[in-house]
């Protein structure tokens, strides 16, 4: 297969149809005074404690400044052999037209970026940057919250350890993490967790105030818990409480907790923090130019399923590595066997990569 293009987009948020929001231009952080002044005016302070940092349009500022709201741990970039992108910018891309799904009106590529509240985008063609643009609070030297793109990194790390024989994909999670024995993950295999085919009593419906995702979030909240709170106090403690609902391996179900279990397993078998592992396995050998970082909970546990923050050009290096079967920056970063596992388990791989790394063959 000939691989010719990698397209990477960081989109701030997806707006719901039928609701009235500020446009991308109107919601640009440059139009507001958030966190400006010495001290900032009371109405311009954003905080994770009261949730104001996550409200629209303030979120457009927050996703580029997450470590100002949460405790974090650094993911070190390369200190030598840093990679420099070749650029062959093609301005005609802005004028490409298309008709969006469920629409009869055409728009240009340039127009679509504002419609999608895009913060940053890079298009690669044959290893060179042919298109690059930034909006809002993001710039070429900045970092952006990856949210669920973090799952792609954790899943690839898990796949690497399987390919290297460090993890046995047929073993149960409880073989590596005994504390999970009585949870839903106790009899789930490593492969089932990687593929998200575990049967869990866990809802990720953010519109449902009773969905389990909110209990998971409360456990990972690094700030002091309310006086009447009696639930788990960190991510790992919560994972031990997840109940089983059905039979593992029968159906795919997108659930963030799978990735956080994988993050726990990875750190346990390598006896290193996840941030250090990601740096050693990817960020350093890729030749990244900027440190990334993970948001952490009150126990210092990295949020493997949605807490990574990175520079867009550095993240594009990861995408280009995938496109080239693990080869990048003059070295083979992961074994070819991992590529075979990707092809054999496309459901998990495509779900995450298609949203953030568009591979055209």
d(CA 15, CA 268): 39
The burial class, CB within 10 Å (0-12 / 13-18 / 19+), for 25 is: exposed
d(CA 264, CA 274): 8
Q: Establish how many alpha carbons lie within 13 A of residue 350's alpha carbon, considering only the half-sphere containing its beta carbon.
A: 7
Under a CB-based contact definition with an 8 Å cutoff, are residues 189 and 172 in contact? yes
d(CA 338, CA 350): 14
Residue with tokens 């298109």: 131
Under a CB-based contact definition with an 8 Å cutoff, are residues 174 and 182 in contact? no
Under a CB-based contact definition with an 8 Å cutoff, are residues 174 and 185 in contact? yes
d(CA 284, CA 278): 9
* Strand, coil or helix: 7: strand
d(CA 7, CA 90): 14
d(CA 112, CA 34): 27
* Active-site annotation holder among 52, 112, 148, 174: 148
Residue with tokens 């290893």: 127
Residue with tokens 């997450």: 66
Q: How far is CA 2 from CA 40, 176, 234, 360, in A?
A: 53, 39, 45, 9
User: Any catalytic annotation for residue 183?
Assistant: no
The beta-strand segments (E) located in 76-196 are 86-87, 97-98, 107-108, 118-125, 128-134, 144-145
Q: Which two tokens mark 183?
A: 């949870």
d(CA 320, CA 359): 9
Q: Active-site positions?
A: 148
């Amino acid at each position: 297969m000939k691989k010719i293009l990698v397209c990477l987009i960081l989109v701030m948020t997806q707006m719901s149809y039928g609701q009235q929001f500020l446009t991308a231009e109107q919601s640009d952080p440059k139009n507001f005074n958030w966190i400006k002044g010495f001290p900032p005016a009371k109405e311009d302070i954003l905080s994770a404690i009261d949730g104001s940092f996550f409200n629209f349009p303030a979120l457009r500022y927050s996703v580029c400044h997450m470590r100002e709201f949460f405790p974090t741990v650094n993911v070190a970039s390369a200190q030598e052999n840093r990679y420099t992108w070749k650029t062959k910018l093609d301005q005609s891309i802005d004028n490409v037209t298309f008709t969006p799904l469920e629409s009869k009106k055409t728009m240009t590529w340039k127009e679509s970026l504002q419609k999608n509240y895009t913060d940053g985008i890079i298009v690669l063609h044959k290893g060179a940057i042919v298109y690059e643009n930034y909006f809002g609070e993001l710039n070429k030297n900045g970092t952006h919250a990856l949210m669920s793109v973090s799952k792609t990194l954790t899943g690839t790390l898990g796949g690497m350890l399987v390919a290297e024989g460090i993890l046995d994909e047929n073993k149960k999670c409880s073989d590596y993490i005994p504390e999970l024995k009585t949870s839903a993950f106790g009899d789930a295999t490593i492969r089932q967790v990687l593929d998200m085919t575990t049967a869990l009593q866990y809802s990720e419906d953010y519109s449902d105030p009773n969905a389990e995702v909110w209990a998971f979030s409360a456990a990972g909240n690094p700030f002091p818990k309310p006086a009447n709170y009696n639930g788990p106090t960190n991510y790992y403690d919560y994972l031990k409480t997840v109940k089983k609902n059905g039979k593992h391996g029968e159906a795919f179900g997108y659930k963030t907790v799978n990735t956080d279990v994988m993050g726990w397993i990875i750190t346990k078998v390598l006896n290193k923090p996840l941030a250090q592992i990601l740096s050693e396995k990817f960020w350093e050998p890729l030749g990244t130019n900027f440190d990334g970082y993970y948001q952490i909970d009150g126990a210092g546990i990295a949020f493997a399923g949605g807490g990574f923050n990175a520079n867009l050009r550095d993240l594009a290096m990861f995408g280009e590595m995938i496109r080239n079967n693990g080869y990048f920056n003059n070295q083979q970063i992961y074994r070819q066997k991992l590529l075979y596992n990707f092809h054999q388990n496309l459901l998990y791989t495509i779900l995450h990569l298609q949203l953030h790394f568009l591979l055209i063959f």
